[in-house]
Structure formats: C-alpha cells, structure tokens
Amino acid sequence: MKLTGWGRFPVVETQLRAPRDVAALQAMVTGDEPVIARGNGRSYGDSAVGTHTTLDMRHFDHMLSFDAETGVLVAEAGVLLGDVIDAFLPRGWFPMVTPGTKFVTLGGAIAADVHGKNHHVDGSFGTCVDWIDLMGPDGQIRRISRDDDADLFRHTLGGMGLTGVIVRTAIRLRPVETAWINQTTLPAPDLGTAMDLFEQHAHVPYSVAWIDCMSRGAHLGRSLVMLGDHAKRADLDAKKARTPLDAGHKGALSVPFDFPGFALNRWSVRAFNELYYRVGAWKPTKALVDWDTYFYPLDAVLKWNRIYGRRGFAQFQCVLPLDTARAGLTELLEAIAEAGAGSFLAVLKRFGPQDSAFSFPMEGYTLALDFPMKPHTLPLLDLLDAIAVTHGGRFYLAKDSRMRPDTLREADSRADEFEALREARGLKDHFASAQSERLSL
C-alpha cells in the first residue's frame, strides 16, 4: 500500500502490518525484511515509513501502572499523549514535555525525542523517560536506561526507531494544580526584539513565538511571543476553582477535503499574517487559557494537513547555536521573504542546553515553517539547508522529508557515530525507514 507521514510527502510503497501482541511483533521483527515502527503517523516525512515493512504499533495502547507518589507511568508504546492527559490531568498530573500535538504516541515521542515550549527549562522528552523496553533484531526485549546499556538508551532517544522497536516505557509526569495556563502575549515588531524577549523571560516555564515570515525590512521577523505557566488554584476565579482540573472539552473542527493548490499563495499568506499579527497585538496581554488551547492549538482542526492540498507540504526545522542564531535567522527569514514562499505557520523557540547522542536539540534558537509542495519548494529548502549549515545549525529528523545525506553529515557529525552503532549492533539490516535509506543511516 501507499503510505506517507503527516506532510503527505513523499508517498512510499510499503507493506503495513499491525501486530496485536508481543509474539506477533517478534515474528515480524525477526523476519527476512527490514522493518520500522510507526506510531500515529505524526512525523512529517518518511521517518516512520518503511520501503519494506512498516509496523503499526497502535494496538500496543495499554497503560500498565502508575505511582501516585512519584508520578511514574508505565505504558505501552502505542499510547497517545492525549490519552495520558485524559487519564491523569483529572488526578493532577500533566506530561513533563509535550510537542505541539497530543496525537503522538509515547513510542514516537521517544523515537523523535520531541521537545516542547519548555525546552529551555526542562529539556526534551528524554529527560522524563526512566527506562525503555526495546525489542532487538533477535526478537528479545531488553530494558535499557541510563544505568543499563546507557549507550543504546541514549541513541534510542532521538534515534528515529532505528535502534529497535520500543514496546514499553516508564515516564515521569509533573504535578499540576489546575488545567489552566497563565498566558502572556508580547508583540515584537522585529526579530531582534523577539529574541530579546525570549532572553528576558528565560525564567518562564513555557515560551514560543509565532513569527511572520513574510514581513521584510524593518519588520523582518516580527512576532507574537507567547509565555505560559501552569496556573495555581489561587489564580482561578470562584467558578473555575470549583473544578480546577477540568477546563471542559471543546469540539474539534475537521478539514473535509483537500484545498486547491492555488489557495495558499504569497498574497493569501501575507494577508493572513498581517491580520494574525494585528489581532494578536490588539488583544489583552494577559489571559487565562485552558491547557488544550495553549499547548495544542492545531489539534482543534482535525486533518489540517489537507489545507496544503493533495501534493502535501514539507516542514523545515533547524536549530542554530546561540552565537550565530541572530545572524542565521535573519538570513533565513530574508531568503524566505525574498522567495515569497512563507508559511502562515512559522514558529520560533529558545532551546536550553542539551548533550545527547543523536537528538535534535542544542542550546540556541529553532525555527520551523511549513511550505506547500510546489515546483520551487525543494530548491528553496536546499537553500535554507545551506544557510543553516553555514551558521552551525542542524535539522530535526522528525520533520525532514527531503534532506540530502551529505547535508546531514555536514550539519551533524554525530550521524557517523550513530551509523557505526547500528552497524556494530547488527541493527542496520533489521530496522530501516525510507528516511534512513535516503540519508544512508
């Protein structure tokens, strides 16, 4: 069958199999053809699609135990982060780290070592993972952690499923008093002001900026910087305080069909960005918002990837180190504005320090933008790759769908070490995705 990631590009022919128990999974892993595990299909490109066999892990969706003293949850890899929130937020617990969608599995969150709006304070998802039960090429499950086979554990965090199949895990949740977030929105008329705001508010747990990538000149990089923190019970009014851990449930809209290719163009995106910035700058600076609105605004629109049409889209996400970030981001935004190919969904975040084996984050700034797949898109992305490499940046494999292997190695010297580990442990012939073959991992 034909299968894609969330970006719907590229389309890969694969054999999709969905094991229902460990025995069935073992039989598939120890077969003759390489496999790759897939969670809920929210990685954007081809990292969770195999050119031979793709293992749909969504039947492994049981939560196994929870320690109410420590907040440690043991669960199977196919459990969705949203299911964890539904089960434990009413008890006063929330994920330590969450990406911008709750429709990811725990296995996928580990494989991509996802990050959230609090990386500058709490690091990436791996910081809350105590151990992983990993199925190797012989079909045996081994428990790996920072103490047991630490090298394999470190490379499994962010290893894109290429070190084995994640079967179970233990993660730590954080205690919260309410289901509400104190949000502060700060307009920034240019990139420099936005970055200054991130630095001035480095102590705030959550921060993210929507950035207008179509603005130019004096307004290059104008942004809305959104800060957040879990509200205390004392922050709520009397009505909300009666049920502090219940912010209610909102209905979700759904995009019913693929938008036509001409719907997203430089004029429509520029008009949207102008309106979004002005409305955001006009609203009250401080507001109390529910957890779903703050962390997962895109989840309110199901199948939003259809907005980009049948040809899909590619997301570019790089991180630039602190000492080159300002110059590098300026050059990236100038190139995007010059091409007139900007996205209405462009996000800037500040990362904190991270020393990891193959995970994406490092201390600096990360920029993420979506581009509809059009004839000029791939050449533009190659140009952005080159700019990021020049400034010492590297790329997020969970979002990648088209990078060249030499670009990866030029940007990230850890790729050779990762490939060597796969060779040495006999993993390369058993676990492979369309992405790993494209990038020669």
Q: Are residue 264 and residue 394 in the same domain, yes or no? A: yes
**Single residue among 112, 144, 176 that ends a domain in this structure:** 176
pLDDT at res. 281:
74
**Residue 82 carries which side chain, given as an amino acid letter?**
G
Beta strands in 205-325 (DSSP E): 206-211, 223-230, 253-254, 286-290, 301-302, 313-321
What interhelical angle do 322-339 and 377-390 show, nearest 10?
A: 160
**Distance in angstroms (rounded) separating the CA atoms of residues 384 and 75:** 39
Q: Are residue 376 and residue 279 in the same domain, yes or no? A: yes
Q: Are residue 145 and residue 163 in the same domain, yes or no? A: yes
Cβ neighbors of 132 (< 8 A, separation 6 or more) are 110, 143, 144, 145, 153, 156, 166, 168, 169
What interhelical angle do 322-339 and 191-200 show, nearest 10?
A: 150
| pLDDT tens-digit map of 152-201 | 999 999 999 999 999 999 999 999 999 999 999 999 999 999 999 999 99
Q: Are residue 241 and residue 106 in the same domain, yes or no? A: no
Q: What is the DSSP letter of 116?
A: -
Domain count, the chain: 2
DSSP SS3 for 225: strand
Evaluate whether residue 435 is within a structural domain: no
Q: Are residue 150 and residue 117 in the same domain, yes or no? A: yes
Distance in Å from the first CA to the final CA of the chain: 24
DSSP SS3 for 125: helix
Please indicate, yes or no, whether the overall pTM of this predicted structure exceeds 0.85. Answer: yes
Q: What is the mean pLDDT of the chain?
A: 93
Least confident of 5-19, 133-147, 343-357, 394-408: 343-357
**Single residue among 176, 208, 229 that ends a domain in this structure:** 176
Evaluate whether residue 299 is within a structural domain: yes
| pLDDT tens-digit map of 318-368 | 999 999 999 999 999 999 988 877 677 789 999 999 989 999 999 999 999
Q: Are residue 371 and residue 232 in the same domain, yes or no? A: yes
Evaluate whether residue 97 is within a structural domain: yes
CB 427 within 8 A of CB 419: no
CATH number of the domain that 150 lies in?
3.30.465.10
* Closest among 351, 433, 428 to 394, alpha carbons compared: 351
Q: Are residue 117 and residue 233 in the same domain, yes or no? A: no
CB 163 within 8 A of CB 152: yes
| pLDDT tens-digit map of 68-112 | 999 999 999 999 999 999 999 999 999 999 999 999 999 999 999
Evaluate whether residue 423 is within a structural domain: no
- Residue 262 scores a pLDDT above 70: no
* Closest among 188, 231, 242 to 210, alpha carbons compared: 188
**Residue 9 carries which side chain, given as an amino acid letter?**
F
CATH number of the domain that 381 lies in?
3.30.70.2520
Cβ neighbors of 328 (< 8 A, separation 6 or more) are 320, 387, 388, 390, 391, 392, 393
Q: Are residue 135 and residue 208 in the same domain, yes or no? A: no
Q: Are residue 72 and residue 212 in the same domain, yes or no? A: no
DSSP letter string, 55-77: EE-TT---EEEEETTTTEEEEET
Residue 140 confidence class, pLDDT cut points 50, 70, 90? very high
pLDDT at res. 264:
66
Residue 16 confidence class, pLDDT cut points 50, 70, 90? very high
Evaluate whether residue 56 is within a structural domain: no
Q: Are residue 275 and residue 385 in the same domain, yes or no? A: yes
Could you list the residue range(s) of the whole structural domain that residue 138 is in?
63-176
- Measured CA to CA in angstroms, residue 176 lies from 172, 244, 246 at distances of 13, 10, 12
**Distance in angstroms (rounded) separating the CA atoms of residues 377 and 401:** 12
Q: Are residue 327 and residue 263 in the same domain, yes or no? A: yes
Evaluate whether residue 230 is within a structural domain: yes
Q: Are residue 118 and residue 198 in the same domain, yes or no? A: no
pLDDT at res. 254:
66
pLDDT at res. 260:
62
| Token pair listed for 250 | 């909102």
**Distance in angstroms (rounded) separating the CA atoms of residues 259 and 271:** 18
Percent share of the chain, pLDDT over 90: 81
- Residue 253 scores a pLDDT above 90: no
* Closest among 144, 165, 149 to 34, alpha carbons compared: 165
Q: Is beta strand 53-56 parallel, antiparallel or unpaired with respect to 15-17? A: parallel
| Token pair listed for 152 | 């394999």
| pLDDT tens-digit map of 387-436 | 999 999 999 999 999 999 999 999 999 999 999 999 999 999 999 999 99
